[in-house]
Amino acid sequence: MSSIAIDSKRTLRQDLWWLEPLLVVLGLGCFALYSTWAALQNGDYYAAPYLSPFYSPCLAINCEHVSVPIFGTWYNWSPAILILWIPGGFRLTCYYYRKAYYRSFFWSPPACAVRDAASSYSGETRFPFILQNVHRYFFWMSLPVLAFLWWDAFIAFRFADGFGIGLGTLVLIANATLLSLYSFSCHSCRHLCGGGLNSFQAAAGRYKLWGIVTKLNEKHMQIAWVSLVWVGLTDVYVRLLATGVIQDLRFI
Ligand code: FES
């Protein structure tokens, strides 16, 4: 084959290299559309004692669940819009998702040994991609949000007639667990535990912590997808309860 023929092809790969980028477009696209729609609803996010994670912590004055009216003058806004920029920014700047959407949405490059869509490459050295460096700060900001999600999971045991466990309780606990695994498997968290040291010799505690986070970090991609799907399904479950489409399954 001549070099001219090779140059005119995007790739010489014969396998289904396009399948992964396509699945990422479908997965992230569906989630972005659904979460935007859900955030704009400004309703049906609470079915006692369950609060949708998209609306937690509920900061607007019109909250059906916990009202923390520090953003009171924006009280007509959907509580989800007041808070979703934190987990949204955390995911958008995540090292794994960056790889995933650079490949699938920007074709930069779409797969190994497949040519970039763009003719030039500047990486993340220029605006707007240089802003991806704020990821470490989103990690810090996501921690209080995570604490509220655990609080919601705890509240999910408190029914009008006292202590209980419903399917929603389990759904909320699984959601908080998966989002915790996602946050603590973050590359920034790993750096926080083990970075900035020349040697682990005098930092046995940090070495242990770094080892645990490294194990989690190896599964970051899988955890990212499972936690993304689960948080969406948790909102769907609470929404279906709140609109009366389904009834909660009560175990205790
Ligand atoms: S690298 Fe994915 S959340 Fe930090």
What is the rounded distance in angstroms from the CA atom of residue 36 to the CA atom of residue 103? 23
Q: What's the token pair of residue 105?
A: 């949405």
Query: pLDDT tens across 235-246, in order?
Result: 999 999 999 999
**So what's the pLDDT on residue 76?**
75
Q: In 3D, which of 51, 52, 47 has the Cα closest to residue 231? A: 52
Preceding omega of 79 cis (within 30 degrees of 0): no
Q: Is 190 in the pocket of ligand 1 (CB under 6 A)?
A: no
- Ligand 1 centroid to residue 143 C-alpha, Å: 13
**So what's the pLDDT on residue 178?**
98
Q: Which atom of ligand 1 is nearest to the CA of 186?
A: 4
**Residue of 185, 213, 219 best suited for mutating to test ligand 1, as the one with most atoms within 8 Å of CB:** 185
**Residue of 124, 136, 142, 187 best suited for mutating to test ligand 1, as the one with most atoms within 8 Å of CB:** 187
Q: To the nearest 10°, the Cα dihedral for 213, 215, 219, 221?
A: 40
What is the DSSP pairing of strand 158-159 with strand 46-47? Answer: unpaired
**So what's the pLDDT on residue 131?**
94
Q: Is 100 in the pocket of ligand 1 (CB under 6 A)?
A: no
Q: Is 191 in the pocket of ligand 1 (CB under 6 A)?
A: no
Q: Is 220 in the pocket of ligand 1 (CB under 6 A)?
A: yes
Ranges of the chain with pLDDT below 50? 1-6
**So what's the pLDDT on residue 206?**
96
- Ligand 1 centroid to residue 184 C-alpha, Å: 9
Strand partners, 163: 158
**Residue of 132, 142, 186 best suited for mutating to test ligand 1, as the one with most atoms within 8 Å of CB:** 186
**So what's the pLDDT on residue 59?**
83
